[in-house]
Structure 1
Amino acid sequence: MKSADLLTDAFTRVQESVHSAVEGLSVDDLHVRLDEGANSITWLVWHLTRIQDDHVSDAFGVEQVWFSQDWASRFDLPFERGATGYGHSSKQVASVKVDSPELLLDYHDAVHERSVEFIRGLDARSLDRIVDEAWSPPVTLGVRLISVIADDLQHVGQAAFVRGSLERRQSGTRTGRLPG
């Protein structure tokens, strides 16, 4: 198996997990925060997708899907258009709202498609290319992509946890075990 195949598989697992966390939920469910300082599923999926879009686009020297396909206008969020959610306050987290689950999923799918398009053309040597010299040691493309995957998986896991909590509340079941 080639490096590009492994990376494609990892990003595809993220995409599948995003769909599992979001599909079938109401807009109200997507916006629920388990407490006043917690992140909603909407914010978690939007944020992980923004980070993927931002970091992958930067690594390949292209405009973010957020701008090139005008997702910024479609989401119409009440803060700077280029925001990714990094460092957001509780008030900003609460302001990330969508009118439908499809908006989140469609944006994620567009970013996934773009990411996989770039990754398919990689070979092991290209993963050694330096993409960020602001760190010591400088960050290679391979390290950047693994970092994005790790961040995505953490956030989509949090979204799945919120979904499971909501489903247990709605069913009245409190088993102390996570679903699945």
Structure 2
Amino acid sequence: MTTSAELLEDHFGRVDELVHDVLDGLTAPDLVRRPEGDGGRGNPIGWLVWHLLRVQDDHVAEAFGTGQVWTDDGWADRFGLDLDPADTGFGHSPEQVDAVRTTPALLTGYGEAVHARTTGHLRNLTDDDLSRVLPPTYGEGVTLGERLVSVLGDDLQHAGQAAYLRGLFGR
């Protein structure tokens, strides 16, 4: 019988696979290409992947009461972005989106580290753990299970957007 934790681990694994598939063979210029071209408002592949990883890292760390891979493991320094280390991309202006310039290798490495941390948290979860109500940061009465499913939904949405752009660009 498959446990809830195993299902969550499987789904986060799918996010990790999607990130690898989207980034495979891309170049740094591919990562900043907007769907409407230069000056457009649509988010580019690099920003979408960075954002989904930052959200997963941030939200999972908060849900489990741990530090983030981004700051604890030096990824913020490796990326060297001109953004607050706590920034996850929510509400970014077009100029802030443009500030997220990186490489496929950095995104892949960070993604692998976030995935490893996430699955490490999930491995020993019970259904009772998933029913634990989190502090009210994201709303009253939100459980760990609900938070994790919410993160998965956000991750899959942004990974799908990035995959769509890759196809749109013929990559």
* TM-score of the superposed pair, with normalisation by structure 2: 0.94
Matches within 5 A, 1:12-161: 12-35=13-36, 36-98=40-102, 100-134=103-137, 137-161=140-164
User: 1:173 maps to what in 2?
Assistant: none
Which stretch of the first structure deviates more once superposed, 129-138 or 23-32? 129-138
The alpha-carbon deviation at position 134 of structure 1 amounts to 4.2
The alpha-carbon deviation at position 82 of structure 1 amounts to 1.1
Distance in 2, Cα, partners of 1:136 & 1:77 = 30
Distance in 2, Cα, partners of 1:27 & 1:114 = 26
The letter of the residue matching 1:80 is: D
The alpha-carbon deviation at position 137 of structure 1 amounts to 4.1
Question: Which has the higher Rg, Structure 1 or Structure 2?
Answer: 1
The letter of the residue matching 1:65 is: V
Distance in 2, Cα, partners of 1:131 & 1:110 = 24
CA RMSD of aligned residues (A): 1.1
The alignment partner of 2:169 has SS state of: helix
The letter of the residue matching 2:84 is: E
Task: Report the identity percentage.
Answer: 48
The letter of the residue matching 1:5 is: E
The letter of the residue matching 1:162 is: L
The letter of the residue matching 2:169 is: L
Deviations 1:58-92 (A, max 9, x none): 01111100011010111111121110001100111
User: 2:11 maps to what in 1?
Assistant: 10
Deviations 1:97-124 (A, max 9, x none): 01x2110010011000000000011010
The alpha-carbon deviation at position 130 of structure 1 amounts to 1.1
- CA pair 134-70 structure 1, distance change in 2 beyond 3 A: closer
The letter of the residue matching 1:30 is: L
Which stretch of the first structure deviates more once superposed, 127-136 or 79-88? 127-136
Gaps of 5+ in 1: 171-180
The alignment partner of 1:29 has SS state of: helix
* TM-score of the superposed pair, with normalisation by structure 1: 0.90
The alignment partner of 1:139 has SS state of: coil
